[in-house]
Structure 1
């Protein structure tokens, strides 16, 4: 069995929940880029990597594993960029609650929404 016949050759849907999440975050970073550029030293470099991640995943959505793995490599800066949103919001409580909500939604999405993850169940339940 070759790669083309395996389950890894499946395409990623264009409106996949991960693509929507990444696009919304990218739009937020673009919206606040002026303020973040002044406060975060390597914001432009991290933004370039995140932009490459989002566009790579969308551009190569026909090659599922290829698109996702390379996009994950570029998208590692997301864990640094998301907390930088604290720097642009005046109401820190709202931003902290937003980041906590984002973390729980990402966890929920990875555990229950995404296809192919059902063999992994929580050990406590």
Structure 2
């Protein structure tokens, strides 16, 4: 993606979401694309808007909003803040790693955050 090796992609581009089961694209591809195209270049405090990811409906007609699910999880990780109904603001910068060791440390930190969210039933 944009010249970045997949091992240096930030951990928040590998987040598990319930609705992605319906999507045939690997999560790190569409999550990285959203961050590159609609997040990284914005300053902290800027409003965030992710386009909807096209996804097939389930057999019962449910069509999950992956962009909203992703933003909700980013909010729980304190990277964005929710300021209203589907209104989000950037709280922290996300950057690509320069070294694999930094990526591994980010993975450990993100995994610990996700585990702690699971204990409080995200």
TM-score by length of 2: 0.28
Q: Which has the larger radius of gyration?
A: 1
Higher relative CO (Cα under 8 Å, sequence separation at least 6) belongs to 2
Say which structure is richer in helix.
1
Q: TM-score, normalised by structure 1?
A: 0.28
